[in-house]
Amino acid sequence: MSPSRSSGVDNVDSTVEMGRPLRLYPTGLKAGAVLGSRFQIEAAIGQGGSGQVFRAWDRVLGEPVALKILRPDRAQEKGWIKRLAREVKVARAIRHPNVCRVFDLGNVDEHWFVSMELASGGTLRDTLRSNQERPLSDRLADARAVCAGLAAIHTVGIIHRDVTPQNLLRMDDGRLVLSDFGLAVQGGVTTVHGGTPSYMAPETAMGHGSNQRSDVWQLGTVLHEIVFGLRPIWDSGSRGLILRTPMLSAASSLYRELAKLCRACLATNPAGRPGSAIEVSARLAALEVASLWSTLDRFLRPGAVLLKGGARIAGALVSTVLERSFARRRSRVASRRMTAEDRKLLRSMAAKLKAQGQFDDAHSLDRLAGPEHPP
Ligand SMILES: Nc1ncnc2c1ncn2[C@@H]1O[C@H](COP(=O)(O)OP(=O)(O)O)[C@@H](O)[C@H]1O
Ligand SMILES: [Mg+2]
């Protein structure tokens, strides 16, 4: 699959600051430009509220890299540099295969930039747009990745605050990584207000701040999109908003359990949601395992009966044949003097029986064969 890369801004998906319309500010950098005689700009690969993201070639390390270059107007504001620095520090506190690795913050040729590992497979938004008919196993792999990445973030007490398909990037090996720590906070309260409107938890949208449960809301929205291919749809009922159950093309119990998990994450009251992505991860794993067992049970039960029956019949046959053969050999062995060849045969049969765990019979054959090196 080759996802189309979005280099423009999708208004619905983009991070915005509260009360400010989203505007694009190109950095003026073009392919071929070299930053600080080290980073050769190759192409613009993304754009967000804070600036433009480029694929570049690190001439010193000989590796591709992603550079997020701060918008020129923002580079004039001290607050923004601090914010970028915090973004890098927060991101560097986490090492996980489903979290984008951020390398450094730099300032060269009048550009402030963040360098990070390059995700060359586009964003989850690209995947969702370009491939509606993905197999459930792929969807589950993505769901697991997003949960695991956010769980790693929650484990160290960070709130991400911007879990959206635009901030989930696909690596070369197909893995999804959670990126963009521009709004992330560790523990306390933040002075940076913002987010992606269509992914904002109700409490955040109402200005009551956010915590890990607000991230869980965003995770629920993303999981819903991954699994069911569309954002949650709300109907207004007499007692408030009601999440519409997605129409399931394949209404398996696994889909129903996944819908339940999304519903739990999307409880309008934060107290009704799982406490963190760690819990969501655990619930996802549990429902996957339960589904695997019930599938195995359903498909293997008749087979297992057959197998067991077959094994019993085969076992009985084998032991009858062996018994007869032992009896014949014993009487033959007893009726004449044993040759070296007989002894060899008996010992090899004993070894076979030992390997099958039939130690008693093996022992008696060994005894019959006599000592290996007779005095
Ligand atoms: N490491 C990366 N590798 C590849 N593309 C990236 C990377 N980081 C960001 N992008 C692209 O740039 C876009 C904007 O980057 P992001 O960090 O989300 O900036 P903003 O804080 O402005 O939202 C992303 O949606 C994605 O398309
Ligand atoms: Mg972003």
Ligand 1 center from residue 50 Cα (angstroms): 10
d(CA 30, CA 204) in angstroms, rounded, equals 37
Task: Return the CA Rg of the chain.
Answer: 32
pLDDT value of residue 22 = 47
pLDDT bracket for residue 189 (50, 70, 90): low
pLDDT, greater one: 212 or 244: 212
Nearest ligand to the C-alpha atom of residue 103: 1
Q: What is the mean pLDDT of the chain?
A: 82
Q: Catalytic residue at 235?
A: no
Q: Residue 231: pLDDT above 50? A: yes
Q: What is the 3-state secondary structure (H, E, C) of 30-90?
A: CCCCEECCCEEEEEEEEECCCEEEEEEEECCCCEEEEEEEECHHHHCCHHHHHHHHHHHHH
| Nearest to 140, CA basis, from 259, 264, 284 | 284
Residue type, 208: H
Nearest ligand to the C-alpha atom of residue 180: 1
Q: Residue 347: pLDDT above 90? A: no
Ligand 2 center from residue 224 Cα (angstroms): 19
pLDDT value of residue 334 = 42
- The predicted model scores a pTM of 0.75
| Nearest to 228, CA basis, from 216, 220, 218, 237 | 220
Q: Which residues contact 156 (CB under 8 A, 6 or more apart)?
A: 93, 94, 186
Least confident of 226-235, 271-280, 305-314: 305-314
Mutation choice for ligand 1 from 15, 53, 117, CB with most ligand atoms inside 8 A: 53
Q: Residue 330: pLDDT above 80? A: no
pLDDT, greater one: 163 or 244: 163
pLDDT bracket for residue 112 (50, 70, 90): very high
Least confident of 84-88, 168-172, 196-200, 357-361: 357-361
pLDDT bracket for residue 313 (50, 70, 90): low
Q: Which residues contact 12 (CB under 8 A, 6 or more apart)?
A: 197, 198
16-65 confidence digits (pLDDT tens): 544 444 455 567 788 999 999 999 999 999 988 888 999 999 999 999 99
What is the domain partition of the chain in residue ranges? 16-116, 278-369
Contact 254, 262 (CB under 8 A): no
Give the architecture (CATH level 2) of 16-116: 2-Layer Sandwich (3.30)
**Residue in this structure with the two tokens 């613009």, named with its chain if needed:** 44
Q: Residue 152: pLDDT above 50? A: yes
Ligand 2 center from residue 48 Cα (angstroms): 5
Residues paired with residue 112 on neighbouring β-strands, in sequence order: 107
pLDDT value of residue 303 = 59
Least confident of 106-120, 168-182, 233-247: 233-247
Residue nearest to atom 11 of ligand 1 (CA): 46
Contact 58, 65 (CB under 8 A): yes
